[in-house]
Structure 1
Amino acid sequence: MNSSLTYLVSCLLFLAACSENDNSIQSNTFIEIPDSEFESILIEQGIDSDGMINQKILRTDAEQVVRLDLNKDASYGVITDLSGIESFINITYLSAARHEIDSIDLSFNTRLDTLYLYANYLNHIDLSKNTELLEIDIQSNQLSTITGLANAGKLKKLNVSFNDIEHLIISNTAIEVLHASNNLLTTCDLSEAIKLKNILLTSNQLGSINLNSNNLLETLLISDNRLNDINLAYNGQLSHLYISSNQLNNLDLSPNTKLIDLRADRNPDLKCIQILPGQNIPTAILSDYQVLNSSCN
């Protein structure tokens, strides 16, 4: 090989190496944001420092964010793709409500303590890596499964209402508030959720529920289900009970002396509701055929 050809080959090899290095630097420096509406919000909030919609932002821009609020309002368009969110590794708060997001990868957002993704199109979500979560609101999606929820050992509040969930197990021992109305629930296991104070389970398909472990329970809203019996003997703190539109044939409220608001109407086979002599329930919504009595035969 003559010297000219050798020189040319060397130059080509050098340029190829430089191009490869440039691509590597670009890859490490920038992250892709394929959704232009997502990027436009980042620009508007001063997060995307180059100020241009070019489907990328600096990695350093993303890593400086602690709180990210993408909630749709009059000035924002609709986000369909949150790809790139995985590089926001330091966020503790993420809200992206009322968009059209059908999937999300939160496996790198391990510092999250607050997550609002309500009113989207999610049918599955994996929270296995989000162990710091304190509050989750993923109502009004199309969820049938939630993976890794049990790993959120600090969780206090969970809202999964208006989804397509059939079976729900809450083993988070710190949780105090659960909203899971308007699902397809046939089973709901709350036996390990010993700090639950407020439960909303209206408009499901529950035939039974065990609340024996939920001794701190104050509010139970479980109307519009298929319950034919319920044991509230271990729920002495109960103050509000909405249990209308079920299939109850008996209801013993004598252990629930703190009860101040009862809705038990539209239970066709429930004629007599057991209370203690002298027990007063200030607000009691009953059907005409129902009575509160200390003696139910």
Structure 2
Amino acid sequence: MVNRIKKMKNPISRSSITPIIIVLTLSLIISCSSNEETLNPTDNILNIPDIHFETKLIELGIDSDGIVNQQMLRSDAEKLDRLDLNLSANSGKIVDFTGIEGFVNLTYLSAAGQEIEDVDLSFNTKLDTIFLNGNYLNNIDISNNSNLILLDIQSNELSTITGLSKSPNLKKVNLSFNNFEEITINNTSIEVLLISHNLLKSIDTKDALNLKNLFIILNQITTVDFSSNILLETLVISGNKLQNINLEKNTNLTHLYCSSNLLTGLDVSNNQELIDLRVDRNPDLTCIKILNSQEIPNVSLSDYQELNTNCN
């Protein structure tokens, strides 16, 4: 009777227990693995290797742990739509901008006057305003920033820009004080372009059909063609090496500054909207042609120059 009871309490054989244990073990392993993937604490951590970058984020109350530990919560970065690092009182300059890719909801970014050498804005697809002037950038790619309206990257070390045609809403671009030797503005929406104090020998604006204001002083440009830019109102092209310029199609011009060039002739008789004309310091330009009834309120000439209806 005793033996029978023992057998009844242990009805499952050793051979049948083994596969059950294996199944349970595998289920536990899979479950743990799945939980680790879901609850991995590093998923919400953003790497911020530059201590000056993180210090500024802490000072601005963005990095919520308040500790310079080269990391911050990704969720802190994702809350922001505006980041102005110039508001920080910290005097340290940012060199490494790693971590900016986590600020995916930014529409406004300002990090002027830092020492940033490289930047990846491919994840910041909502940006409409960028101020990265006064850094050490030697290249920039804005191919993924299709919402851009304003781009200020003056005073860097740029010689190229990638993705300019990918921003259909871009209105103002400042590329002054860089190292551009040539540039093609293949964007129809740009209205204001500043690219002064570069090394420009050529500029192609034929696709910039809405260009209204162009500032390209102090370059090395010898020839230009603005015949496609019929909306042009302000043209500042002083301090170049121009020998001639045709402005017949630019009937909306109100301001023309072409001082300190090598012009031998200039005809503004078709530019009836001109209110400010500066053509002084062109050694071989003595006569500027105008219409008989044309009046230009503000004119800057050298003492050997004159406005005349008949220039031979």
Q: Is the 8 A contact 1:142 1:163 kept in 2?
A: yes
Unaligned runs of 5+ in 2: 1-24
One-letter code aligned to 2:165: A
Q: Name 1:271's counterpart in structure 2.
A: 286
Mark the CA change 1:51 to 1:172 in structure 2 (over 3 Å): closer, same or farther.
same
Cα distance, 1:22 vs structure 2: 8.7
| Residues 1:170 and 2:185 aligned together | yes
Counterpart residue number, 1:132: 147
Paired residues in the alignment total 282
Deviations 1:6-61 (A, max 9, x none): xxxx9xxx9xx88x949982331201001111111111111111111110011111
Alpha-carbon offset, residue 194 of structure 1? 1.0
**In structure 2, what is the Cα distance between the partners aligned to 1:145 and 1:240?**
29
Matched, 1:120 2:142: no
Q: 2 CA distance for matches of 1:49 and 1:25?
A: 20
Q: Is the 8 A contact 2:60 2:88 kept in 1?
A: no
Which residue matches 1:191? 206
Residue 78 of structure 2 corresponds to 63
3-state DSSP of counterpart to 2:151: strand
**How big is the alpha-carbon RMSD for the aligned residues of Structure 1 and Structure 2?**
1.8
SS in 1 for 2:40: helix
C-alpha contact (below 8 Å) 1:154/1:172 kept by paired residues: no
Q: Deviations over 1:151-198 (max 9, x none)?
A: 111100000000000111112111110000000111111111111111
Name 1:100's counterpart in structure 2: 115
Q: Distance in 2 between matches of 1:54 and 1:142?
A: 31
Aligned to 2:55: 40
Quick one: distance in 2 between partners of 1:160 and 1:21?
48
1:241–1:259 Cα contact (<8 Å) kept = yes
Residue 218 of structure 1 corresponds to: 233
- Cα deviation for residue 104 of structure 1 reads 0.4
Q: Among residues 252, 260, 278, which one is paired with 1:245 in the alignment?
A: 260
* Deviating 4+ runs (over 6 angstroms): none
Indicate the SS of the match to 1:229. coil
- Check whether the contact 2:95–2:117 (CA below 8 A) recurs between aligned residues: yes
Instruction: Give 1:152's aligned residue.
Output: 167
Where 2:307 maps in the other structure, the secondary structure is strand
Distance 1:144 1:182 in 2: 12
The match for 1:281 is 296
Q: Give yes or no for contact 2:112–2:134 (8 Å, CA) kept in 1.
A: yes
What residue in structure 1 maps to residue 21 of structure 2? Answer: none
* Percent identity for Structure 1 against Structure 2: 55
TM-score, normalization by structure 2: 0.87
User: Alignment partner for residue 46 of structure 2, among 21, 25, 31?
Assistant: 31
Deviations 1:188-238, CA, capped at 9 Å, x for gaps: 111111111110000011111111111111110000111111111111111
SS in 2 for 1:262: strand
Q: Which amino acid aligns with 1:172?
A: N
Instruction: Indicate the residue corresponding to 2:97 in structure 1.
Output: 82
Deviations, residues 116-169 of structure 1 (Å, cap 9, x unaligned): 000000011111111111000000001011111111111000000000001111
8 A contact 1:72–1:96 mirrored in 2? no
Distance in 2 (alpha carbons) for counterparts of 1:192 and 1:106: 25
3-state DSSP of counterpart to 1:266:
coil
The separation in 2 between residues aligned to 1:73 and 1:186, in whole angstroms, is 39
Where in structure 1 are there 5+ consecutive unaligned residues? Answer: 1-9
Q: How does 1:200-211 map to 2 (within 5 A)?
A: 200-211=215-226
TM-score, structure 1 as length reference: 0.91
**Cα drift, residue 76 of structure 1:** 4.0
Are the structure 2 counterparts of residues 87 and 186 from structure 1 closer, same or farther at C-alpha, using a change threshold of 3 Å?
same
C-alpha distance in 2, partners of 1:234/1:64? 49
